[in-house]
């Protein structure tokens, strides 16, 4: 939907200078906008210095590209909480739940730990 609007905007763009419109049109003739993903479209506009011509498109693309990251982070946290806090562990404290969720989310780091050293350190205290 965004591709169609952007293509329409570029094609329908009225310019004070016909030469400026021709330059912008030439930049987009070699690119199939519909085949670009949004990240590639953002980089294409950046590399061809077209953000000055389309400032609102730049803002919309930046907002859209940032929203996906924050949304995925929240979904990952809730997914891990759902796995950790099941029916059997409904009575755990908030602190324990937080600690288990950190361990679950950062599991790659915890896989590298040597538990023998941790147990020995705990026993020495």
Q: How far is CA 60 from CA 11, 95, 96, in A?
A: 19, 39, 41
pLDDT value of position 67 = 67
pLDDT value of position 17 = 46
Q: Which two tokens stand for residue 116?
A: 């023998």
pLDDT value of position 15 = 47
Q: Quote the distance between the C-alpha of residue 58 and its chain's center.
A: 16
Residue with tokens 């350190």: 121
Kindly give the interhelix angle for 55-84 and 2-12, rounded to the nearest 10 degrees: 170
DSSP-assigned states of every residue in 23-74: HHHHHHHTS-GGGS-HHHHHHHHHHTT-TTT-HHHHHHHHHHHHHHHHHHHH
pLDDT value of position 3 = 64
pLDDT value of position 28 = 59
Instruction: List per-block mean pLDDT (blocks of 10 residues) for the chain, which spans 125 residues.
Output: 66 53 59 68 80 81 70 58 61 75 78 80 83
Q: How many beta carbons lie within 10 A of that of residue 41, not counting itself?
A: 19
DSSP category for residue 90 = T
pLDDT value of position 122 = 81
* Long-range CB pairs of 91-99, under 8 A, 24+ apart, other chains included: none
């Amino acid at each position: 939907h965004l591709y169609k609007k952007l293509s329409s905007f570029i094609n329908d763009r009225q310019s004070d200078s016909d030469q400026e419109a021709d330059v912008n049109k030439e930049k987009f003739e070699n690119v199939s906008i519909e085949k670009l993903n949004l990240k590639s479209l953002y980089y294409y506009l950046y590399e061809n210095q077209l953000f000055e011509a389309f400032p609102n498109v730049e803002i919309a693309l930046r907002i859209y590209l940032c929203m996906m990251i924050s949304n995925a982070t929240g979904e990952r946290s809730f997914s891990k909480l759902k796995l950790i806090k099941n029916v059997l562990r409904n009575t755990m404290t908030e602190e324990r739940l937080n600690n288990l969720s950190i361990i679950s989310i950062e599991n790659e780091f915890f896989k590298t730990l040597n538990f023998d050293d941790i147990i020995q350190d705990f026993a020495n205290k």
